[in-house]
Amino acid sequence: MNKISQNQNKPRSSAEKKMVVITIISIVVIIVGALYWLTASSDEDNKNRLQTINNSGVYAKGIITSIHSYKGHSVTVKYQAKGKEYLYDGGWDSNANHLGIGDSIRIKYAEANPSLIITELEDEF
């Protein structure tokens, strides 16, 4: 037997086992902390987006260029605001009118920043 295989079969000491457990716990804590931070950050961004839109919202219409309901709900909407064309990629909550590609959709965008919108498919609309 070579030295490598002999060392692998050697039982670990109590200190080595503690270090392995501490390392694993540290990795789990870092991953959970990062996921929590990402979720909290995303929620805060969405809250700010809705507040901006609701403070100075302008109603308009757009055209659905893509909509998916498999493995999550996503929609792409093309719309014009202040003479410029925008493309919005986002999610949706319910599609009671069964809207599809090419259908007209009601939107509300922030007057100060027309790239911030909500669609009629979102509960916040």
CA dihedral 76, 78, 80, 83 (to 10 degrees): 120
- When pLDDT is cut at 50, 70 and 90, the band that residue 103 belongs to is very high
* Maximum pairwise Cα distance, the chain: 77
Residue 124 lies in a domain: no
Statement to judge: residues 108 and 69 lie in one domain: yes
Q: Which residue has the higher pLDDT, 116 or 40?
A: 116
The domain of 80 spans 57-119
Q: Are residues 80 and 102 in the same domain?
A: yes
- Residue 41 shares a structural domain with residue 66: no
| Count of structural domains within the chain | 2
Q: How many CA atoms lie within 13 A of 30 on its CB side?
A: 6
pLDDT in tens, 8-18: 666 678 888 88
pLDDT by residue (tens digit) across 33-57? Answer: 888 887 776 777 888 888 888 888 8
Query: What value does the mean pLDDT take over residues 14-28?
Result: 88
C-alpha atoms less than 13 angstroms from C-alpha of 15 in its C-beta half-sphere: 0
Residues 53 and 118: beta-carbon distance below 8 Å: yes
Q: Is residue 98 in some structural domain?
A: yes
In a shared domain, residues 35 and 69:
no
pTM of the model: 0.61
Handedness of CA 63, 66, 70, 72 (dihedral sign): negative
Average pLDDT score, the chain: 84
